[in-house]
Chain A
Amino acid sequence: MSDLFERILLLKQAPIFSKVSTEDLRVVAHELEEEACFIGERVFDINDPSDRMYIIEYGKIGISLETNPGKKEFIVELGAKECFGEMGMFDDKPRSATAYVMEDSGLLALEKSKLRALIINYPELSLGIMGSISSRLRDANLRLKKN
């Protein structure tokens, strides 16, 4: 039970689920699958199918737009409680970046098909996700305006 609670809290802190109620996150937490990744590995490559999203339990993941695997220039480095690969869950397009494991990491993966099934059964889940995405969009707009 405490494992489930930890997952719910982790999901609640992940930006994409921050506006989803803990009650609805219960069902999401049940669908998460643990994945262990080790330094130097890649979680996914550019143009891979976007079949799942990830939430980082611990460790560090670097996101790179480089198509050349030799070049590791990260546009962003993500740590615990952050998520990646979530945009592909909704737009059905292939991965637009490569995710490198910078430190041994524990990831929680959520399959696209499972999330979609959940959304059909728990429509308010999608409202929370849309709320979170909308907040991020507003923040991005403000940052753009400031710059």
Chain B
Amino acid sequence: MNLPDRLAKFFLVKEDEHYSTAYFLVLFLLIGAGLAVGRGSADTLFFKRYGIEYLPVMYISFGILLSIVSAMYAAFADRIAAEKFFVVIIAATTILLLGCWVLISVLQWSNAYPLYYLVYEVASELLMMHALLYVNQNLETMQAKRLTPLIFAAAQSGKIIGGLALTFASPVIGVQNFILLWVALILIALTLIIIRHRRSGVSPYFRSGKKGRKGLAYSIDQIIQGVQFAKRSRLLRSLSLALFFIVIGFYIITYTVNSIYSETFSTEESLSTFFGLLTVVNGTIALLIQAFLTSKLFRIFGIKKINLVFPVTTLTSYLFLILSFTFPAALFASFNKEVIMTAIRSPVRNLLFNALPDYMQGRARALSLALVLPCALIVTGGFLLFMQNLEEFRIYLYAGLFSVFVYLYYNIKINSAYVNAILSTLRAKVFIPEGVNTGSIELINQLKKGVVQEDSDISVSYAKLLAKEYPEQVLQVVLERIRTADHALSDRLLKLIIDIDLREIEEELWVILKRSDNHLKATIYSLLFNQKSSRAMIDVESCVYDKNPRLCSVGIYGVFQYKIIALESKAKEALGTLLESKDSTAILAGLQLLEQHYLEEYGPILKKLLLHDSSQIVKAVLRVLYIWPVITNNDESSLLKNLLQQEDPEIRILAVDCHIHLPAAVIEDSALIMLEDSHPRVRECAIEVLQNRSSNPAGLLFGWIINNKCTPRAQQSALHGLRLILPDVAIYERIAEAKVEDALKCRAAIKIIPDNKVLTSQTAMQLLQAILKERIQQFVDLSLASLEYVEDKSTINIIRAGLKSGDNRQIAYACEVMRHLKNRHLSKMLGQIYDGGIEKNKRYSIFGDFKDVIHWCTRRQDPWVQVVTKQIVLS
């Protein structure tokens, strides 16, 4: 592995990200160098040639100016791709900087110094703010999380270079000429941006906002929308309030340290050299932290804890300055605002903003820039101006201290709002409703409308739903539909109301009977006999003697239902004739009767009919066997076992159902075969049978899942069954952890496979990789399904939907939520599956080489993996 590859691996840059990472590094290096040069020159020129006592006025002016510029920014931030907007910002900055340089160097106008100071402040805010938006439009959240620290490190390197230039070149070229250097740097950055986007097109995560009103009204709308969203979003509200108070704290401390530095360094050159040195030292430390620590700190401690670092160090800075208003205390404060803020606070804030919905991020940033930051600056400037008139001037530090305490409080609130914000963003993206309204009158009316509409199949489907959920509502609407229905549809609809009290519609049934064919007649008679209608009893005998098998069957049913002893022997004889007939319709009619009235003497015929060629008859027999325990011993169980191999899934489902009458040992013996069935209903039935018959269903299911005794799909069914009978949180945590471990092992195995291209069976290896990738997904699914019992179910559903969305950004959101599950160990392991942490986790490096992977695959009780692995071994 060559050096760039090693570096890329060390900094968690993936193979396909090399080019774009290099681009962002160079871009931010140039921007950083420009800002360092601008900062040093603007501060020096203003403090030494104009006067630091005017700094509070600058804060107020900067606040007002920033709100105007930001309002303009808000008008376009969401509507124009970030790269296009960059062109506008850099062009405007270039013109203003060149103007300042002319006013300072050529016209020597003294008011040019505050002007340049303001240009720097506004341009630096806008450039960094927009650069971050640009990164977000080009990287998804997981990428941003890995690469943002590195990109910030590049900006920091730029600042060091800028600081060095200031230190060594300011006595030679003069401080004001650094303006030209800044112009040159941002123009190079602009050229890079243009070249990249000519090649790669629009930023991939840019989503254009709605086009409509333009100009200031639109900008104000944007800010108002930001405010309204802040009212709804606890995260944005807390972020905005935290910003307000840290701006006050930050600018008070900036004013303080600059006063100390101005007093300490008497000349312009010494001050600019010091600023240069300070930038280099702080920049280097910040760079080292960003490069080697920041991302690791995020991984180890998580965003929430890291979010509290900057408030705490800022409080410490204030305490030092209050206790000792000296140069060393100022140095610590500078360290805090330049190192900790750059290396820790800025990346955290950027990630927190990422938790907001995409469409709101531009508006939220505009709200910060156009409203919150200017308001805080104006308050700070006004407060400092007021304090300058007091004798005990340094009392203002206590106000700064107070604002930082409030800032800490809001950061704690941000932490509690963060995960919920991601969840609601993800919920909206994956279209998971917050709740479903059931049982309403509207719903019943919709179902009724469905029954009376024209299409037969749809009508029956609606009627089924209505009969199941609201049986008291179904009779009248079914009758209404039957009035215009053909015989077939009438028959299907009437069968749905067989178990409902029909007395109120009996008269109507007789009317329908008169215009019915034999098939429909049989159905209506069966309804009437079922209700023991006295009027229908007269017709029983004629039905028994009818040549139509269905009517005959219904007649036999009537004999048993009304207990007409005189007709019993005739009925039994007729039933035997039906069952032994060569006509399938007759057999089916007989079997239908046996479902309702089983007669023991027909057991042998039923067993014989199980081998019938007609799948319809086999199904009808199985339905009878399910209700009546005909096959109950081990010897006859093979009759049912053989049916588990049938192609027709309905036969397999019914055969599994019939196992209910077999001994538990036989069921347990066949359960794994049933669980591996391709049809989910077969698997569900297998679980139901096992639950009803096995003495220890929970133990069996848990053992199969935890020991991977069956494929993940079968495990999914087993887990579903287990959840119905075993409410033990610890068990599900254990399953969840075991499944994530399985997923991690699959991932480790995949990593080994590509390194063995010398083997001939490349196709089989590719397929093995594809299967293992599927297994990872299935094991994660299993783990999440187990977690539904442990964690909040809706949160798990949202995570699952996010992971399956196929959209990198939603997957990233889901991963971020996973990191904040209650079970920290599990959330860390789940995170490793998606963020590449596995490579560094020795625990899952169980495979020394490809042979180990093959050995592991062969030992797995996974038939599909075994088939493919066997092929690789044979090759």
Contact = CB atoms under 8 A, between A and B. Distances in A.
Interface of A: 1-2, 5-6, 8-9, 12, 21-24, 26-27, 120-124, 131, 135, 145-146
A122 B678 contact: yes
Given A22-B767, A121-B647, A124-B680, A5 B868 contact: yes
Interface string B660-690: 0000000000000000001110000000000
Contacts of B132: none
B770 interface: yes
B858 to A, nearest CB: 16
Nearest to A2: B763
B84 to A, nearest CB: 15
Contacts of A26: 864
B649 A120 contact: yes
Contact of B770 (A9, A120, A145): A9
A12 B770 contact: yes
B770 A22 contact: yes
B871 A121 contact: no
Contacts of A121: 647, 649, 678-679
Contacts of A9: 763, 766-767, 770
B4 interface: no
5 contacts: A5-B766, A9-B766, A26-B864, A121-B679, A145-B207
A44 B818 CA distance: 49
A6 B871 CA distance: 13
Interface residues of B, number: 23
Contacts of B439: none
A2 B806 CA distance: 29
A27 B864 CA distance: 12
A2 B870 CA distance: 12
Contacts of B804: 131
A21 B774 contact: yes
B441 to A, nearest CB: 32
Given A9-B763, A9-B766, A23 B864 contact: yes
Given A12-B770, A22-B774, A5 B871 contact: yes
Given A21-B774, A22-B774, A121-B647, A5 B864 contact: no
A1 B871 contact: yes
A142 to B, nearest CB: 9
B771 interface: yes
B711 to A, nearest CB: 8
A22 B763 CA distance: 13
Contacts of A12: 770
Nearest to B774: A21
B679 A122 contact: yes
Given A21-B774, A120-B649, A5 B680 contact: no
B20 interface: no
A22 B864 contact: yes
Nearest to A12: B770
B235 to A, nearest CB: 26
Contacts of A8: 767
Nearest to A21: B774
B674 to A, nearest CB: 15
Contact of B763 (A5, A120, A123, A146): A5
B764 A2 contact: yes
A2 B680 contact: no
A90 to B, nearest CB: 17
**What's the dominant secondary structure at chain B's contact region?**
helix
A2 B759 CA distance: 14
B779 to A, nearest CB: 13
B863 to A, nearest CB: 9
Contacts of B771: 22-23
B108 interface: no
A134 B528 CA distance: 48
A123 B761 contact: no
Nearest to B763: A5
B89 to A, nearest CB: 23
Contact of B678 (A1, A124, A145): A124
Interface in B844-875: 864, 868, 871
Nearest to A135: B806
Contacts of B806: 135
A11 B706 CA distance: 32
Contacts of B774: 21-23
Contact of A6 (B647, B763, B864): B763
A17 to B, nearest CB: 12
Task: Name the residue among A27, A122, A145 with the largest chain B CB count within 10 angstroms.
Answer: A122
B770 A123 contact: no
A41 to B, nearest CB: 29
Contacts of B767: 5, 8-9, 22
B754 to A, nearest CB: 15
Task: Name the residue among A6, A23, A26 with the largest chain B CB count within 10 angstroms.
Answer: A23
Interface in B766-791: 766-767, 770-771, 774
B336 to A, nearest CB: 43
For the complex of A and B, the 5 pairs showing the least CB-CB separation, nearest first, are A122-B678, A5-B763, A5-B767, A23-B864, A2-B763
A108 to B, nearest CB: 15
A132 B767 CA distance: 19
Task: Name the residue among B711, B761, B767, B864 with the largest chain A CB count within 10 angstroms.
Answer: B767
B606 to A, nearest CB: 26
Interface string B205-222: 001100000000000000
Interface string B743-775: 000000000000000000101101100110010
Contacts of B764: 2, 5
A12 B678 CA distance: 19
B871 A2 contact: yes
Nearest to B870: A1
A124 B679 CA distance: 8
Nearest to A24: B678
Given A2-B761, A23-B774, A131-B804, 9 more contacts: A2-B764, A5-B764, A22-B767, A23-B771, A23-B864, A120-B649, A124-B713, A145-B207, A146-B202
B873 to A, nearest CB: 12
Contacts of A1: 871
Interface string B705-743: 000000101000000000000000000000000000000
Interface string B195-237: 0000000100001100000000000000000000000000000
A9 B202 CA distance: 33
A123 to B, nearest CB: 6
A134 to B, nearest CB: 9
A36 to B, nearest CB: 21
Contacts of A122: 678-679
A123 B650 CA distance: 12
Task: Name the residue among B761, B766, B806, B868 with the largest chain A CB count within 10 angstroms.
Answer: B806
Nearest to B864: A23
A129 to B, nearest CB: 15
Contacts of B713: 23, 124
A77 B700 CA distance: 54
Interface string B167-203: 0000000000000000000000000000000000010
